[in-house]
Amino acid sequence: MRGVVFDGKQAQVLDDLEVRDPGPGEVRVSIAAAGLCHSDLSVIDGTIPFPAPVVLGHEGAGVVESVGAGVTHVAPGDHVSLSTLANCGTCAECDRGRPTMCRKAIGMPGQPFSRGGQPLFQFASNSAFAEQTVVKAVQAVKIPEDIPLTSAALIGCGVLTGVGAVLNRARVDRGESVVVIGTGGIGLNVIQGARIAGATKIVAVDANPAKEAPAREFGATHFVDASAVEDAVAAVREVLPTGADHAFECVGHTRLIRQAIDLLDRHGQAVLLGVPGFAEEASFQVSSLYLDKSILGCRYGSSRPQRDIALYAELYREGRLLLDELVTRTYPVEDFAKAVDDAHAGRVARGVLVF
């Protein structure tokens, strides 16, 4: 079968991969569509260290092909959106409703794939850039069949992370103000999460002026073109003179993390979603936090995928959550290199590989 493999030096599309049958508590899924996320690119450029060779992809949707013993919530033929959260379901954190903190779900990649008899790692417990993959049952969430799989694919990472950061982590409330730094796939979902939450002022900041139209479509009330102003912080403060209740950094740049903190009003929260290099450090003025300001990390939108994916699917069906609009372009998996180039150049909100 076909899939995208990173061997530690380059990523390429191969057609001789194999994946094992599902074991107890597992599901084998035929992938229909998978979004190309910045995290996939970060594995390729080394920002996210990951053992190789690895089958890439982690934002996918497809149809259940087979299930292992004990799996009852999905069956062959069901449409599913996949999460990356292979949580155990039995530890203290899972029991408290914090599956993103499950220690058994982080840092232990499996090897369900093989090529020529040699095992390949699975990225983010998912590997959606393959015609078929095997995941833990908890990662497969049944969705209505009337949701296009090219759109449903994006729920499993970009939507869970962006919308979830707003609703679950920051808990943005009605009437509050939000600044979103970076309006790629994650940033657009933060924007629409803020809109759904009832924020009244949503200021999007990006150095690419072409991002203004999609940012406003998703719910931004104001847009700051960081390439056209000397001081983006000052430009935002023209809209929010006392600062923002919430500032989300969605790029992964330490300078922008500092900007997010500097933009906070009293009792404001800076939520960090972008991923800088693992050795990078950010600085801030300590005294600036003493007015009850907070800096929050956020893993995977603090989500509970079995609950949240179903919720976001329903919000999409009601017309309140935008998914189709996130899909700028689809690519056959053989055009993976073109999809990567378009993502690097900022020509797409989300490119989606299709099988």
Residue 129: both structure tokens together: 């850039």
Query: Can you give the pLDDT at residue 318?
Result: 96
Question: Which letter does DSSP use for residue 169 in this model?
Answer: I
What's the angle, vertex CA 347, arms to CA 35 and CA 272, rounded to 5? Answer: 65
pLDDT band at 298, cuts 50/70/90? very high
Task: Output 344 or 231, whichever has higher pLDDT.
Answer: 231
Residue 43: both structure tokens together: 């594995």
Q: pLDDT tens-digit profile of 156-178? A: 999 999 999 999 999 999 999 99
Query: Can you give the pLDDT at residue 277?
Result: 79
In DSSP terms, which residues pair with 178 in a beta bridge?
Answer: 202, 246
Query: Can you give the pLDDT at residue 191?
Result: 98
Closest CA to 354 of 16, 15, 62: 62
Q: Which run of H or of E encompasses 196?
A: helix 185-197
Q: Is 116 exposed, middle or buried (0-12, 13-18, 19+ CB in 10 A)?
A: exposed
The per-residue pLDDT of the chain, averaged, comes to 95
Taking the C-alpha atoms of residue 317 and residue 152, their distance in angstroms, rounded to an integer, is 11
pLDDT band at 104, cuts 50/70/90? confident
pLDDT band at 279, cuts 50/70/90? confident
Report the pLDDT averaged over residues 285-301: 95
pLDDT at position 253 over 90: yes
pLDDT at position 47 over 90: no
In sequence order, what are the residues at sequence separation of 6 or more whose Cβ sits closer than 8 angstroms to the Cβ of residue 167?
A: 193, 196, 197
Report the pLDDT averaged over residues 242-252: 97
Query: Can you give the pLDDT at residue 195?
Result: 98
Report the pLDDT averaged over residues 13-21: 97
Torsion of CA 316, 72, 126, 65, to 10 degrees: -90
Q: What's this model's pTM, rounded to 2 decimal places?
A: 0.94
- CB distance 143 to 309 below 8 Å: yes
Report the pLDDT averaged over residues 53-57: 98
Taking the C-alpha atoms of residue 186 and residue 190, their distance in angstroms, rounded to an integer, is 6
pLDDT at position 107 over 80: no
pLDDT band at 192, cuts 50/70/90? very high
Query: Can you give the pLDDT at residue 299?
Result: 95
Taking the C-alpha atoms of residue 57 and residue 153, their distance in angstroms, rounded to an integer, is 11
What's the angle, vertex CA 161, arms to CA 155 and CA 165, rounded to 5? Answer: 130
Query: Can you give the pLDDT at residue 278?
Result: 78
pLDDT band at 243, cuts 50/70/90? very high
Question: What are the distances in angstroms from CA 242 to CA 89, 137, 324?
Answer: 43, 47, 36
pLDDT band at 201, cuts 50/70/90? very high
pLDDT at position 265 over 90: yes
Query: Can you give the pLDDT at residue 108?
Result: 76
- Pairing mode, if any, of strands 79-82 and 140-142? antiparallel
Query: Can you give the pLDDT at residue 106?
Result: 76
Query: Can you give the pLDDT at residue 105?
Result: 82
Asked if omega into 24 is within 30° of 0 (cis), the reply is no
Question: What are the distances in angstroms from CA 148 to CA 61, 131, 186, 318?
Answer: 9, 17, 20, 14
Other beta carbons less than 10 A from residue 110's beta carbon: 16
